[in-house]
Homo-oligomer: A and B are copies of this chain.
Amino acid sequence: MNFNEQLKKIRTYEAGKPIELVVRDFGIQTKDIVKLASNENPYGCSLKVQDAVSKIISKMAMYPDDSMMNLKAALSNRFGVNEKNLIIGSGSDQVIEFLIHAKANSSSKILMNSVTFAMYEIYAAHVGATIIKTTSQEHDLEQFYELYLKEKPSIIFLCTPNNPTGDAIDAQELFEFIKKIDDDTLVVVDGAYMEYALVKDAKKEVKPKELISNFANVIYLGTFSKAYGLGGMRVGYGIADTKIINELYKLRPPFNITTLSLEAATVALDDEEFVNDSIVKSFEEMKRYEEFAKSKNIEIIESYTNFVTLCLDDLKSSTQIANLLLQKGMIVRDLSSYNLNAIRVTVGTKEQNTKFFELIAEIL
Q: List chain A positions with a Cβ less than 8 A from chain B.
A: 1-4, 7, 10-13, 15, 18-21, 24, 35, 38, 40-41, 43-45, 49-50, 53-54, 57-67, 69-70, 90-91, 93-94, 97, 101-105, 119, 122-123, 126, 183-184, 186, 216-217, 225, 229-234, 243-244, 246-247, 249-261, 264
Contact = CB atoms under 8 A, between A and B. Distances in A.
A109 to B, nearest CB: 14
A27 B58 CA distance: 24
B12 A250 contact: yes
Contacts of A11: 250
A183 B67 CA distance: 41
A52 to B, nearest CB: 10
Number of copies: 2
Nearest to A64: B232
A69 B230 contact: no
Nearest to A257: B234
Nearest to A90: B90
Given A102-B7, A233-B259, A57 B53 contact: yes
B254 A19 contact: no
Contact of A234 (B7, B231, B255): B255
Contact of A62 (B15, B103, B231): B231
A94 B259 CA distance: 17
